[in-house]
Amino acid sequence: MTNIVNLFAPPECSAVDSLGEVFLVGAGPGDPELITVKAMRLLKDADAIVYDRLANPVLLDYAHKHCDLIYVGKKKDQHSLPQDQICTLLAALAGCGKKVVRLKGGDPFIFGRGGEEVEHLAAQGIACTIVPGITAAIGCAAATQIPLTHRDHAHAVTFITGHRQQGKMHINWDLALQRDSTVVFYMGLSNLKEITAELIARGCPTNKPFAVVAQGTSNAQQVLVGTVGNIADKLAQHPLPSPALLMMGDVINANTYAQQLANLTSTAKPVSSAILEVI
């Protein structure tokens, strides 16, 4: 039986011979089979796993029976444990000599605050290793067969946060409007209407293909396909749950898209993708 730990109680321990270490591990986007072999080995070996809301909880089954499982997940506008306390917790656990896996959805360094945790641990003299994970954009692209850099349509792909900070969006619109480029907005679902309105106001053609992928790579994946001009109305008609990504670019070929998804027959993939609407 693993220990579910009260995350508000900092760990206490007697003096240890040597410090432990922290592994910042990417859990991948949703399908638990997308985790790396290295991540799986570390999960099996960990003394403590500190995990997020977006890390698939099925992965915790790899933990051994004495491992402490500590949930520090965040919900929008509602942090269950502030970031500085997560950093303190990681350092305290390692300070007790533990091998700590910090399990994060997707990749730890893509909009995952991994950088802040590494900085904090380095300042405390605690060894930290990064184990990359499949970020949501890559996972969702694969699961929906949207080829992010198909060479006939895109020479670049840009990941942008569509999140608001202190009520403001901090989007580099020039970057979002680059020609021959695919743009993926993370954390933009609730701001989709403003994002698309601003793109159009800045000259984006209203017929630019646009997709929303919700709960990508999981069995509950849903995809809404349209254009920059109509996706907000479509989303109002078919509200989608989070987490969701917004994807924009000519690589989203709506004419073949439905056919491609209908033809997905791979047995290696648990996804039964629902397309809600095509342009």
Ligand X SMILES: C[S@@+](CC[C@H](N)C(=O)[O-])C[C@H]1O[C@@H](n2cnc3c(N)ncnc32)[C@H](O)[C@@H]1O
Tell me which of 5, 35, 46, 54 binds ligand X, using CB under 6 A.
Answer: 54
Q: Which of residues 83-122 bind ligand X (CB under 6 A)?
A: 104-107, 110-112
- Contact by Cβ (8 Å): 190, 161: no
Q: Does 240 bind ligand X (CB under 6 A)?
A: no
Owner of token pair 């930290």: 128
Owner of token pair 């009520």: 167
Q: Does 32 bind ligand X (CB under 6 A)?
A: no
Burial environment of residue 57 by CB neighbours within 10 A (0 to 12, 13 to 18, 19 or more): middle
Decide whether 104 or 208 has the Cβ nearer to ligand X.
Answer: 104
Neighbours of 155 (CB within 10 A): 11
Active site (annotated) includes residue 75: no
Q: Does 72 bind ligand X (CB under 6 A)?
A: no
Q: Does 244 bind ligand X (CB under 6 A)?
A: yes
Q: What are the CA-CA distances from residue 177 to residues 3, 165, 182, 184, 210 (Å)?
A: 49, 21, 9, 12, 13
x/- mask, ligand X, residues 158-187, rule CB under 6 A, reads ----------------------------xx
Q: How far is the CB of 16 from ligand X (least distance, A)?
A: 31
Active site (annotated) includes residue 208: no
- DSSP string of 167-223, one letter each residue: TEE---HHHHT-TTEEEEEES-GGGHHHHHHHHHHTT--TT-EEEEEESTTSTT-EE
Q: Does 50 bind ligand X (CB under 6 A)?
A: no
Catalytic residue among 31, 47, 52, 68: 52
Chain contacts with ligand X (rule: CB under 6 A): 29-30, 54, 104-107, 110-112, 135-136, 140, 186-187, 213, 215-217, 242-245
Residues with a known catalytic role = 52, 74
